[in-house]
Chains A and B, each alone.
Chain A
Amino acid sequence: MANSPFVLEARGVIKIFGNHTALDAVDFGLKAGEVHALLGENGAGKSTLIKILTGAYQPDGGGVFVQGEQVHLDNPLHAQTHGIGTVYQEVNLLPNRSVAENLYLGHQPTRFGLVDHRKMEANAKVLLQRYGLNLDPGSELGTHSVAVQQIVAIARAVELSGKVLILDEPTASLDRNEVERLFEVVRDLKSRGLAIIFITHFLDQVFAIADRVTVLRNGRLVETRPLDSVSRTDVVRLMLGKDIAFSGATDLEPENAHSEVLLDFRDYGRKKSVQPFNLTVHKGEVIGIAGLLGSGRTEMARIMFGADPADQGTLHISGKPVSIRNTSDAIAQAFGFCPEDRKAEGIFGDLSVRENIVIALQGKLGWFRALNRDEQLEIAGKFGEAMDIRAASLDMPVKLLSGGNQQKVILSRWLATDPAFLILDEPTRGIDVGAHAEIVRTINRLRDDGMAMIVISSELDEVVAYSSRIVVMRDREMVAELRGKNINPGVIVQAIANHPDEAVA
């Protein structure tokens, strides 16, 4: 086995957290001198796989092989001695120390037992020049741009490890020129024979730099393919769909099914967030928003809700111009918003189910028209029952509920405010089957009751099932509005993947 074609390999790796299988017998092989893109939506298992390859986690089954030899990696430091280095999205270096210190921290050149600063800075200067950086190694790292910091982090990782470089979303906070600069460094390292794993959400970048691509979905390996044999559509389909059908089209509602316009967004947008978009929302209509992670779906929702208010364009509600500068303005207009990150932005973990349900209504009522305990219990009980929230008591902390029940609590919170327009960002992600069905049922029920809704979801077949229209986002821009007949997940995938260069189907 010693003459394996792979520098670094995972064979049949299994990782289980509690009763959730994060990785299920995943194979992954990395060759020297290639850039290998690792793709998958959130929860696909990318970061778990990386953590196993770098020794941060131990696999529950299968093994990690370095040049054909099975190795047991105790921790990332140990992985470094096997030649595996990692650069994370957030630069985790010390911004208040010099560039040279950051490069050599932990293995500084010494002289009589003391750090030899002169030698360190001289070495750093030479090293950085190889990466096309001509800067003073004595300067503070924090004074340089994120791109430069990323390159310093790469230089450090390569210096320390030298065979395998793992780049975990290194471009997330870089602009176009900086990305190009980073890519030059990556191409150079590739030509020097390094094996590079590249994780990103940006498909353009994958096609710009990667040689092969591995797609994970729900903890399973979908496929590893050379990039020159796949199209964008193929990649998106691999990422999103278990059974994305190109046949069996659903007919969405005809264009004039709803007459009463509730919301009319014109050239609505926010700088550095989402390109201006035009969208009308009718009463009793569900608009599905599809797009890959990072395509601007969530940003669009936050602009509509005033969480990051729009800085251009106009909004008319029932024909009257309205300006939404913050979330209170939006709620006053009977908007509601269930955020994507339930834990960080949705629930109040330590507060009771009852308080979690009434809080938005109370926010609307203001400081001095307080709902007393009995009123709170009645409201919470009513919506808890309607949404089938499984909680031992309405007074228990909401953090003790399951994810699905927490999502129902947040949905109840908004329904208690009697909204006219509800924005749901990934309402069914990471919740159990029962809660999933309940939430889809609720979406249908609310639509039939005449509520206008926007639902962001990666579950394309689900989006097709309940939407009246589907808006497609790509690269922070609304790129298509699908309506009418013959809509199926395949059509959406094509719309997501379509590159300006590729012919529009």
Chain B
Amino acid sequence: MKRLHLERLANPQLLALAGVLLINWLLFPNFFRITWQDGRLFGSLIDVINRGAPVAILAIGMTGVIATKGVDLSVGAIMAVCGAVAATMVVAGYPTPVAVIAALAVGLACGLWNGFLVAVLDIQPIIATLVLMVAGRGIAQLITEGSIVTFNDPALIFIGTGSFLGLPMAAVIALVLMVLVTFLVRRTAIGLFIQAIGVNRAAASLSGIRSRMLLMLVYALSGFCAAIAGIVVAADIRGADANNSGLWLELDAILAVVIGGTSLLGGRFSIPMAVVGALIIQAMNTGILVSGFRPEFNLIVKAGMIILILLIQSPLAGRLFTGRLVPAKAARK
């Protein structure tokens, strides 16, 4: 039992996270210092989990989509739409719960639309979700009428900046969502079916798996997660910015999922590891900022890191580690 736990801790994602944190610590010795102020925790590490939360939330939904051999490019735009819905509704005087529920419902509807295009109309996921990626920002701007809608609703602001048991609210939301969704897919047969569809949709269909329903579900979940992330981000800046909210975050989310070990070719997936992937990305961002490098370096360092992580996950590296430099096919003979 003990050995099993050690093996789990030694997986590449957690090692990479530890490595990045270690480098951050070397560059900035106070990195691990955490202080308690005004009933909540402060410190660079807390900042990582707080700032990493939106991408982590997106990655939770994105994992299911990618595991079915799909991709959801629209999550950034859905964030903008849902943030706009929540902000304009509280400004218009609706109670906070109504505004939040409406925003979540809009996210779910966006996800169902993507699911409809992919599952029913059989459009390639990258194109199907591109529709909403482009249109979504337009819709968000229509909702905010082109301006940044700011609000002072304390309950809504709490979602973005509040704390629970000393932890930032955004991180708590991401954690709870991760546990709930992981539980949903692992304790039901949904996880197995998602993998089956990702590995071989034709065989899944012949095995009696209702792949359309399931695809609708994963895209709906992705839209729903994007709505949560959109509300968190809007609440954090106390306003809905249709142009910039969630901009390019779909790419970070996809990256987090891939770093988390889910192949873009579909199949095996891990939601907790995708969340770790999001934390790795944020730890790099934060590390570069606190260590005094110019933020422009961020993108280059990130690119280098991505190449490194993907190399570690490549089949070639797998063979290098196990000392078999022969193609798997020949080795089988």
Residue numbers of A with Cβ under 8 A of B are 18-19, 305, 307, 327-328, 330-331, 337, 339, 344-351, 355, 359-360, 362-371, 400, 413
Contacts and interface: CB of A to CB of B under 8 A. Distances in A.
Residue in B196, B203, B208, B209 with the greatest tally of chain A CB atoms within 10 Å: B208
B35 interface: no
Contacts of A363: 193, 207-209
Interface string B188-203: 1110110110011011
A369 B188 CA distance: 7
A365 B209 CA distance: 10
A368 B333 contact: no
**Would you call the interface of chain B mostly helix, strand, loop, or mixed?**
helix
B208 A19 contact: no
Interface residues of B, number: 23
A359 B188 contact: no
Contacts of A369: 189
Given A349-B199, A370-B187, A355 B208 contact: no
B238 to A, nearest CB: 40
B206 A339 contact: yes
A348 B196 contact: yes
Nearest to A342: B203
B332 A348 contact: no
Contacts of B268: 350
B230 interface: no
Given A351-B195, A351-B267, A367-B193, A19 B333 contact: yes
Contact of A347 (B200, B208, B209, B333): B200
A368 B208 contact: no
A165 B205 CA distance: 40
Given A327-B206, A359-B209, A367 B199 contact: no
Contact of A362 (B192, B267, B333): B192
A360 B202 contact: no
B210 interface: yes
Contacts of A18: 333
Interface of B: 187-190, 192-193, 195-196, 199-200, 202-210, 267-268, 332-333
A327 B205 contact: yes
B189 A367 contact: yes
Nearest to B198: A350
Residue in A18, A359, A413 with the greatest tally of chain B CB atoms within 10 Å: A359
Contacts of B267: 350-351
B192 A355 contact: yes
A307 B203 contact: no
A359 B196 contact: yes
A76 to B, nearest CB: 25
A372 B245 CA distance: 41
Contacts of B203: 339, 344-348
A359 B206 contact: no
A359 to B, nearest CB: 5
Given A350-B268, A363-B193, A367-B189, A345 B206 contact: yes
A348 B189 contact: no
A237 to B, nearest CB: 33
Contact of A349 (B187, B189, B200): B200
Contacts of A348: 195-196, 199-200, 203-204
B222 to A, nearest CB: 18
Contacts of B196: 348, 351, 355, 359
A365 B189 contact: yes
25 contacts: A327-B208, A331-B208, A344-B202, A346-B206, A348-B195, A348-B196, A350-B267, A351-B195, A359-B209, A360-B208, A362-B189, A362-B193, A363-B193, A363-B207, A363-B208, A363-B209, A364-B208, A367-B188, A367-B189, A367-B193, A368-B188, A369-B189, A370-B188, A370-B189, A370-B192
Contacts of B208: 327-328, 330-331, 360, 363-364
Top 5 A-B pairs ranked by shortest CB distance?
A363-B208, A331-B208, A370-B189, A348-B199, A360-B207
Contacts of B332: 400
A347 B267 CA distance: 13
Nearest to B191: A370
A324 to B, nearest CB: 12
Contacts of A305: 206
Contacts of B209: 359, 363
Nearest to A305: B206
Residue in B196, B202, B206 with the greatest tally of chain A CB atoms within 10 Å: B206
A106 to B, nearest CB: 30
